[in-house]
Amino acid sequence: MDTTTWATDFHHLILANLVPFGSRLIGAIVLWIIGGWVINFVRHLFGRTMRMRGLDATLTEYLESAMAILLRILLVIAILSLFGIETASFAAILAAAGVAIGMAWSGLLANFAAGIFLILLRPLKVGDFITAAGVTGTVREIGMFATVVDQPDNVRTVIGNNKLFADNIVNYSTNAYRRVDLNAQLAHDVDVAAAIALLRTRVAQIPNVLAEPAPDIDVLEFNPAGTKLVVRPYTSNDNYWQVFFDTNRAIMEVSGQAGWPIPAPRQVLLQKS
């Protein structure tokens, strides 16, 4: 083969292979740059729209990231198609991998889904005092996979969102006020009507006890020790424990000042003659 023939064949090889490959490579680079710009623009536009509609910031950020990842995957598939790679099989591999990952991470995905529902439905929010999943305390953080609760003894507990959402959620902070439930045991010799009047006057003087609704003080039951009263003042959520302890102290003070005897069970013995 002479030099002229070799040069001609090499020229044809370049034209037949390298030039199309180079054009595809340049097209892929341009598509990657433009596609990346479009993805960032769509992501920011989506996030701004969601924030304008008042959607939770945590959920908005996560949806932005998820959408950006999905669009990047589609962009990579489009770029691969420029090089003649069969994208249908590639998509099938991605789908199979997604199923495998979903099965392996089923618990995390369940917590993630529950976290979205917690954010959307808002049965609780940061700062609420709740009882759920066997835990009572103040909500400090609602994450995408778990919720952080500080218990009254200052012990921090992390609860999986799926377990939290699947359980009954008792939210003590949703309503404007709540009732303090206490009892006062009276001895047999105590005048019940007078005791109720004394307790009603004293409980009304406790700071942060609401005048409306008025405290509930009435007969609950009769037992071997005497008459048991319910003492139920109402107060705001922030003052619950202060009113709880002050009411206990008020019951003790009223009983001491009135000289009520210590309640004790009584038995009546009947003798046959």
Whether pLDDT at 183 is above 90: yes
Whole-number pLDDT of residue 14 = 55
121-171 matches 177-258 in fold: no
CB atoms within 10 A of CB 108: 15
187 — pLDDT class (breaks 50, 70, 90): very high
Q: In terms of residues, how long is the chain?
A: 273
Which CATH number does 121-171 carry?
2.30.30.60
Mean pLDDT along residues 205-226: 94
Domain boundaries, given as residue ranges, for the chain: 17-104, 121-171, 177-258
- pLDDT for 168: 92
Amino acid (one-letter) located at 241: W
Of 111, 166, 181, nearest to 134 by C-alpha is 166
**Contact partners, residue 202, CB within 8 Å, separation at least 6:** 250, 253, 254
Tokens in use for 202?
Answer: 């004293």
Please determine, for residue 105, whether its predicted confidence score (pLDDT) is greater than 70.
Answer: no
> What is the topology classification, in CATH, of domain 177-258?
Alpha-Beta Plaits (3.30.70)
Mean pLDDT of the chain: 82
Does the domain formed by 17-104 have CATH 1.10.287.1260? yes
Does 22 or 171 have the greater pLDDT score? 171
Instruction: Write the single-letter amino acid at 167.
Output: D
Per-residue pLDDT tens over the stretch 40-86: 888 888 878 777 777 666 666 667 777 777 788 777 777 777 666 66
What is the dihedral sign for C-alpha 107, 112, 117, 118?
positive
